Chains A and B, each alone.
Chain A
Amino acid sequence: MNRTFSKLALWAFLALLVALFLGYFITRVLPDYLPAGRAVPPRLGDLVFYACAAATVAGAAGVAFSRNIVWSCIGLLIALLGTAALYVFLSADFLAVAQLLVYIGGVLVLILFAVMLTNRIGEVNVSNQSLGLGGGLAVFAAVAPLLMLVAVLVPWPVRPPGPMAPTTARIGDEFLSTWLLPFEVASVVLLATLVGAVVMARKELKAD
């Protein structure tokens, strides 16, 4: 009973936060961006953006707040997919594909493997440690308003972005000119990762 009540209270608190923020956003911030006088009918691209954003936020909430770790994994999948779709909106097609291949095809599968290998999935172990949900809410209350208000209220220079164009060639040019040293360092990091993961995951061989 107590746990159900606390869970309900938590969700009510989160819903209240979201509602407050949305209300502030719609009444105070949004009118500056709309042309005065008439309502703008939403366009299809905007609707797709909102759908992707909603899916991403829902997936992120699933990762952070789900009790079942498999649902956390699926939430992460949804969040990563939504973010990849948003990358396409930001005309970062190459990075969207890289996200699909590396994150969803690699990292998520690795996490799922780890979940399945550590076979205590259905374990309900509600932690009441020192930095439990209270600490989480405290950090949320400390960080979230700052980040969101900065994101919303700062008048970032609105310049009309250029037309969407394939970015692969330009990224390649950048990698081999401006970012050459980080590029090579990244390859060394990947090599070290390869060796390190093998060393950590192998079985110890007995020297005979």
Chain B
Amino acid sequence: MTISANWYLLLAAVLFCFGLVGVVSRRNILVVFMCVELMLNAANLTFLTFARQQGTMNGHAIAFFVIAVAAAEAAVGLAIVIAVFRTRGTLWMDEVSTLKN
């Protein structure tokens, strides 16, 4: 492959920035959640790029753990989302402010 590592890192940076902008600017919990997944994915891409560059397996192992934790986060997070929607009837983050103050 002639594609150098810089391109992969650039792509991961673009993905991470999109996810970051989505987390900050969107107000729907589900969209924020998807953007967090996007950022985790970008981090995985970076890990795998460096693993390929170094020829070791450590990046693969860490990326695997990231995937496992992301799956756990998805299960618990979406359960919380469903519970919030059941009790409050909304998914807009600014309206869920019971713990404020």
Contacts and interface: CB of A to CB of B under 8 A. Distances in A.
Nearest to B55: A162
Interface residues of B, number: 69
A61 B18 contact: yes
B68 A114 contact: no
Interface string A93-129: 0110011001100110011011101101000010101
Contacts of A45: 1-3
Interface in B56-84: 57-58, 60-61, 63-65, 67-72, 74-76, 78-83
Interface SS of B by simple majority: helix
A60 B53 contact: no
A29 B4 CA distance: 12
B21 A64 contact: yes
A52 to B, nearest CB: 9
Contact of A147 (B5, B17, B55): B17
Contacts of B82: 114, 117-118, 201
B96 interface: no
Interface of A: 29, 33, 40, 43, 45-46, 49, 53, 56-57, 60-61, 63-65, 69, 72-73, 76, 79-80, 83, 86-87, 89-92, 94-95, 98-99, 102-103, 106-107, 110-111, 113-115, 117-118, 120, 125, 127, 129, 131-133, 135-137, 139-140, 143-144, 147-148, 150-152, 154, 156-159, 161-162, 167, 170-171, 173-175, 178-179, 182, 186, 189-190, 192-194, 196-197, 200-201
Instruction: Report the 3 A-B pairs with minimum CB-CB distance, sorted nearest first.
Output: A136-B25, A64-B22, A151-B9
Given A127-B27, A171-B64, 6 more contacts: A63-B38, A99-B44, A102-B71, A107-B70, A115-B30, A125-B92
12 contacts: A46-B2, A56-B15, A64-B21, A92-B60, A99-B44, A113-B78, A148-B14, A170-B60, A179-B61, A190-B72, A200-B76, A200-B79
